[in-house]
Structure 1
Amino acid sequence: MNGKVCVFGSFNVDLVARVDRFPYPGESLVANSSMTSAGGKGANQASAALRSGANVHYIGKIGEDAFGPFARRYLKSVGYNALTLLSSDETATGNALIFVAEGKGEAENMISVDPGANMTITDEEITRCAPAIGCADTLLVQLENNMSAISRVINIGRENGAFVILNPAPWQPINNSLLEKVDLVTPNASEAFAMTRVEVTDFESAGRAADVLHTCGCKSVIITMGAQGALLSQGDRKTIIPCFPAQPKDTTGAGDAFNGALAAKIANGDSMEDAINFASAYAAVSVEKLGASTPFDISEVEQRLHSFHKEIA
């Protein structure tokens, strides 16, 4: 049976402009193309978990504004096994302004997020969601919502025996008392620096940052480092996870793809290392598509895994 993943997190409307390079301050730059698409770390990660074979319940909040109908249509179309969509009459749907620079052969992105309704989730709304959170095998949360709601969701998941994953993005301060309730934390290099003040440039420095996080109460840590791969730290045991080869077109949402796929495989009973390898391959395939959460055939991930293991055999 497919494991149950509950993803509590943000929904944003992504407004994307594709450019040869990022504009200079004060400069108006003509884009090569533009698009409006669904995004937000929570929705992106929930979609990745669903496509990776989990039974997914997504919980998010939107505004009753011009973006609201778009959000409802999209989220209902994804096919989550369950969807709890809260709404606000007073605050707009979250949105992100994204530049994708593709002129140097590698796609890079620059993102500004207005979280909107994502930051207005009340205690009463979380209480209504408690039964759904409590039945999850794996609970996945990020930091694109108000911390009071995130804390309550983590508490409910922990009290009901869920494996709790915290993706600390976008970064906001977290108390050690909350980190102690999390089974796995998954920062990238910049988030690891924000949490530890250790600059992560290679696996050695990633190990030092992970050690600091363990002293803060984190049980297991995965630090992702883009093309360098990732480091899994489980106390004294450090494991290097290689990066899967890719030809990036759009790196927007790569971390979300990784975290969603990871949560799905953990919920389905895979070992931590197998789950990370699958998530890395999933992220590699995702950056070859345009958009933060573009659907693709999961056989592409399986093929990427097969080819990689064949090369290193």
Structure 2
Amino acid sequence: MNSKIFVLGSFNVDIVSKLERFPQPGETLHALSNNIGAGGKGANQAYAAAKAGASVTFMTKIGKDQFSHFAKEHLASTGIDNTIIIESENCPTGNALIYVCAKTGENMIAVHSGANTEITHAEVLQAEQHIVGASVLLTQLENNIEAIVQSMQIAHEHGVKVVLNPAPYHTDTPKLLPFVDIITPNETEASLMTGIEVNDLNSAKLAAQKINQMGVDSVVITRGAQGVLLYENGRFQEVPAIKCVVADTTGAGDAFNGALVAQWVNNNNLLDAAKFANAYASLAVEREGAANMPDASLVAARL
């Protein structure tokens, strides 16, 4: 496999408030801090994959607004090899409002998709040569489903492997599965996909088997503090969680997905890639901000 990854995904401006605890309905709390940063699952995953050593092309759509210059500056600073940035005439740049609990590092997020969900058929076709020239297409569900399906079909028809991070979960997810080689839900997304409440190892295994039966060869369920469960070729494998000092879990899944694909594209071994990505994500949660990806050179020491 070559090491080129094409990422179709979102760019959001993240407006982050750190609080001592989450507010109750109707309650106003004083924030410990506020900041504006770059985010979006696609941008974060492309950034992580680039930091983990892959050659990445990232395609996204933003608005022509006060955030567009911010988006371009950020993407130019990430080390992503090639960015395809489409600018919408009538939709704003996507944005997310994020609460982070200072005590636990957990987060609550509300996203306004904006231009992310306005990618057209013609715009995907313009990127076709980049999709076909990659060995892996990585995507999520923060763009319009039509664009995601179209990019997956192009990849599938040309033998390009497709990795789907089904986040945030979408009711149309099942119709994407015929084009997917590896899927990476967390426990919540696995539950929504299968109707099985995933709350322990046994239920995670049942969900992984069901997703496999739905048409995906390789299933990677991320389980937070419980580690990672892999299911492929009729076999389960577990990657235990790595102890770390959690500062902010925002973007942890994105760090995992980007690192997973970057490592997998180099050696085609999913277990090794999951171990690497698990360690990479453990480094990411020790940093504040979704788009604050660690250097991959730190992974060996962490492992």
- Cα distance in 1 between the residues matched to 2:173 and 2:224: 27
**How many residues were matched structurally?**
303
- Cα distance in 2 between the residues matched to 1:173 and 1:255: 20
1:232 aligns with 2:230: yes
Structure-2 change in CA distance of 1:245 and 1:175 (3 Å): closer
Q: Which residue of 2 aligns with 1:309?
A: none
Which residue among 182, 185, 206 is the counterpart of 2:183?
A: 185
1:55 aligns with 2:45: no
Describe the SS at the equivalent of 2:127. helix
Moved more, 36-45 or 239-248: 239-248
Q: Which residue of 2 aligns with 1:128?
A: 126
Shift of 1:235: 4.4
Unaligned stretches of 5+ residues in structure 1 = 306-313
Q: Which residue of 2 aligns with 1:223?
A: 221
Q: Which residue of 2 aligns with 1:8?
A: 8
Could you give the per-residue CA deviations for residues 187-225 of structure 1, whole angstroms, max 9, x where no partner exists?
000000110011111111101001111121111101111
Q: Do the aligned partners of 2:132 and 2:155 also contact (CA within 8 Å) in 1?
A: yes
Shift of 1:244: 1.3
Shift of 1:178: 2.4
Shift of 1:271: 1.0
- Cα distance in 1 between the residues matched to 2:300 and 2:154: 34
Shift of 1:77: 1.7
Shift of 1:299: 2.5
The two structures, once aligned, show a CA RMSD in angstroms of: 1.2
Describe the SS at the equivalent of 1:200. coil
- Cα distance in 2 between the residues matched to 1:295 and 1:263: 15
Q: Do the aligned partners of 2:51 and 2:79 also contact (CA within 8 Å) in 1?
A: no
Shift of 1:165: 0.2
Structure-2 change in CA distance of 1:243 and 1:175 (3 Å): closer
Describe the SS at the equivalent of 2:179. coil
Q: Which letter does structure 2 place at the counterpart of 1:83?
A: T
Q: Which residue of 2 aligns with 1:214?
A: 212
- Cα distance in 1 between the residues matched to 2:2 and 2:286: 27
Aligned sequence identity (%): 48
Q: Which residue of 1 aligns with 2:92?
A: 92
Q: Which residue of 2 aligns with 1:267?
A: 265
Describe the SS at the equivalent of 1:61. strand
Which residue among 141, 144, 153 is the counterpart of 1:143?
A: 141
Shift of 1:176: 3.8
- Cα distance in 2 between the residues matched to 1:175 and 1:100: 28
Describe the SS at the equivalent of 1:78. coil
Q: Do the aligned partners of 2:52 and 2:295 also contact (CA within 8 Å) in 1?
A: no
Unaligned stretches of 5+ residues in structure 2 = none
Shift of 1:175: 5.3
Q: Do the aligned partners of 1:2 and 1:53 also contact (CA within 8 Å) in 2?
A: no
Q: Do the aligned partners of 1:211 and 1:235 also contact (CA within 8 Å) in 2?
A: no
Q: Do the aligned partners of 1:183 and 1:218 also contact (CA within 8 Å) in 2?
A: yes
Q: Do the aligned partners of 1:3 and 1:269 also contact (CA within 8 Å) in 2?
A: no
Moved more, 274-283 or 203-212: 203-212
Q: Which residue of 2 aligns with 1:65?
A: 65
- Cα distance in 2 between the residues matched to 1:75 and 1:297: 17
- Cα distance in 2 between the residues matched to 1:298 and 1:279: 10
Structure-2 change in CA distance of 1:65 and 1:48 (3 Å): same
Q: Which residue of 2 aligns with 1:251?
A: 249
Could you give the per-residue CA deviations for residues 15-67 of structure 1, whole angstroms, max 9, x where no partner exists?
00000000111111100001100000000000000010100101101000111
- Cα distance in 2 between the residues matched to 1:18 and 1:136: 39
- Cα distance in 1 between the residues matched to 2:64 and 2:174: 35
Q: How does 1:257-296 map to 2 (within 5 A)?
A: 257-296=255-294
Describe the SS at the equivalent of 1:252. coil
Describe the SS at the equivalent of 1:15. strand
Describe the SS at the equivalent of 2:267. coil
